[in-house]
């Protein structure tokens, strides 16, 4: 199986997201999926840019789709914002011929054309739907039994349903099933489906902090070994933002590790914490690693 992949802007540029790419590459290779990076990938022009100039923003996203189309491959992304942008391009070009032609005009100026043949896929849905639990279980090296995780689906992989077309968008379970399949417990807890406030960051930081505080308090009360995110922005909020919330609101016992979704699979596949960048996270993952009973020799420091 072969897929093009677009990482988005955040994954290669934020320290705590470097492990997202590392774990994704290792997991997909372990599962026999060949990935080809989009050459000279550009920003997908997400939500806030679409509110300023919808046609130009869609053309920016269409550029990466056009590159995948040239390679004859569907496009995989680990970023929920990118996934949303690529799905919106295909949706808009099918539904609004006039906008489609304006997008093509912009692409032509860059020597490109996009005919809408590329299917955009989110990494987590791809793992569940195309790879499947039987294959994932067959590739396990380590059972994660005893690890209690709190999964955060986020908003933008799932909604709006008519655009993104992922099943069970109100109360999804597919990503939980994979976590449970590798032996960990995916805990149901209050607030896990609610917004983290990430898109408020930079516009109304106080409100973003208030929303994030509620999510982190919910998670803290659930007594998790770690949160797990499927969205780059969610990870920045929960991992990098946790220090802000701890200091601003005086929550002394707030110290929740935050894993990227493919890092969970990578651990089950036998990769060490250091190989998948756990040492790069803002909140220390050392307690989680200790619970997994990994020695420094086996996995390095985390």
Which sequence spans correspond to the domains of the chain?
2-123, 133-299
Which pLDDT score, from 0 to 100, does residue 50 have? 74
Class of CATH domain 2-123: mainly alpha
Q: pLDDT over 70 for what percent of the chain?
A: 94
Measured in degrees and rounded to the nearest 5, phi and psi for residue 76 equal -105, 145
pLDDT of residue 47: 75
Inter-residue contact 86 to 77 (CB < 8 Å): yes
Position 189 confidence tier, pLDDT thresholds 50, 70, 90: very high
Going by C-alpha positions, the residue among 242, 209, 218 that lies closest to residue 151 is 218
Of 266, 87, 234, which Cα lies nearest the Cα of 163? 87
Rounded Cα–Cα distance for residues 255 and 148 (Å):
15
> Partners of 1 in the beta sheet?
none
The pLDDT of residue 286: 94
pLDDT at site 169: 65
What pLDDT does 183 receive? 96
Q: Is the pLDDT of residue 115 over 90?
A: yes
Token output for 7? 């990482």
Fold for the domain defined by 133-299: Rossmann fold (3.40.50)
Q: Which of 57, 43, 34, 36 is nearest to 12 (CA)?
A: 43
Beta carbons within 10 angstroms of residue 297's beta carbon: 7
Q: Whose CA is closest to 50, among 75, 86, 76? A: 86
Model pLDDT, residue 297: 35
CB contact at 8 A, 277 and 18: yes
* Alpha-carbon distance values, 158 to 147, 163, 296 (Å): 26, 9, 38
pLDDT at residue 184 is higher than 70: yes
pLDDT tens digits, one per residue of 30-57:
999 999 999 999 999 887 777 788 899 9
> What value does the mean pLDDT of the chain take?
91
pLDDT for residue 302: 45
Q: What is the pLDDT of residues 199-211, one digit of tens each?
A: 888 889 999 999 9
Q: Of the ranges 39-48, 106-115, 163-172, 257-266, which one carries the lowest mean pLDDT score?
A: 163-172
> Which has the minimum average pLDDT: 14-18, 109-113, 119-123, 140-144?
14-18
Res 93 pLDDT > 60: yes
pLDDT digits (tens, 9 = 90+) for 2-20: 999 999 998 887 877 899 9
Q: What percent of the chain has pLDDT over 90?
A: 80
Q: What is the pLDDT of residues 260-300, one digit of tens each?
A: 999 999 999 999 999 999 999 999 999 999 998 753 334 34
Q: Is 30 exposed, middle or buried (0-12, 13-18, 19+ CB in 10 A)?
A: middle
CA atoms of 36 and 33, how far apart (whole Å): 10
What does the chain look like in DSSP terms, one character per residue? -EEEE--TTHHHH-GGGHHHHHHHHHHHHHTT-EEEEPTT------HHHHTT-HHHHHHHHHHHHHHHHHHT--EEES-HHHHHHHHHHHHHHHH-HHHHHHHHHHHHTTT----S-PPEEEHHHHIIIII-HHHHHHT-SS--TT-EEEEE--STTT-SHHHH--S-SSS--HHHHHHHHTT-EE---TTTTS---GGGTTT-HHHHHHHHHHHHHHHHHTT-SEEEESSHHHHIIIIIHHHHHHHHHT-TT----EEEHHHHHHHHTT--TTTTTGGGSSS--HHHHHHTT--HHHH---
Name the least confident of 5-19, 41-55, 156-170, 231-245. Answer: 156-170
Q: Is the pLDDT of residue 131 over 90?
A: yes
């Amino acid at each position: 199986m072969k897929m093009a992949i677009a990482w988005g802007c955040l994954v290669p540029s934020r320290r705590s997201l470097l492990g997202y790419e590392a774990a994704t590459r290792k997991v997909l290779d372990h599962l026999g999926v060949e990935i080809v990076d989009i050459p000279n990938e550009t920003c997908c022009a997400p939500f806030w840019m679409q509110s300023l100039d919808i046609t130009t923003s869609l053309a920016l996203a269409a550029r990466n789709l056009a590159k995948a189309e040239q390679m004859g491959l569907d496009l995989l992304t680990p970023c929920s914002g990118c996934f949303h942008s690529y799905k919106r391009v295909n949706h808009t070009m099918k539904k609004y011929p006039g906008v489609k032609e304006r997008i093509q005009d912009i692409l032509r100026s860059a020597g490109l054309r996009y005919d809408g043949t590329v299917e955009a896929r989110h990494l987590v849905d791809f793992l569940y739907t195309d790879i499947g639990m039987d294959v994932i279980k067959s590739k396990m090296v380590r059972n994660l039994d005893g690890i209690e995780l709190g999964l955060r689906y986020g908003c933008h992989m799932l909604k709006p349903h008519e655009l993104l077309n992922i099943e069970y968008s109100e109360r999804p379970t597919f990503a939980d099933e994979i976590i449970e399949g590798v032996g960990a417990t995916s805990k149901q807890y209050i607030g896990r489906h609610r917004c983290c406030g990430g898109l408020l960051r930079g516009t109304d930081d106080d409100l973003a902090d208030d929303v994030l505080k509620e999510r982190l308090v919910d998670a803290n009360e659930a007594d998790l070994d770690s949160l797990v995110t499927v969205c780059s922005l969610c990870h920045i909020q929960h991992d990098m933002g946790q220090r802000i919330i701890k200091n601003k609101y005086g929550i002394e016992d707030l110290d929740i590790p935050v894993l990227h979704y493919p890092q969970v699979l990578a651990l089950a596949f036998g990769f060490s914490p250091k190989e998948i960048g756990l040492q790069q996270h803002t909140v220390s993952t050392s307690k989680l690693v200790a619970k997994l009973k990994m020695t420094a020799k086996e996995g390095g420091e985390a």
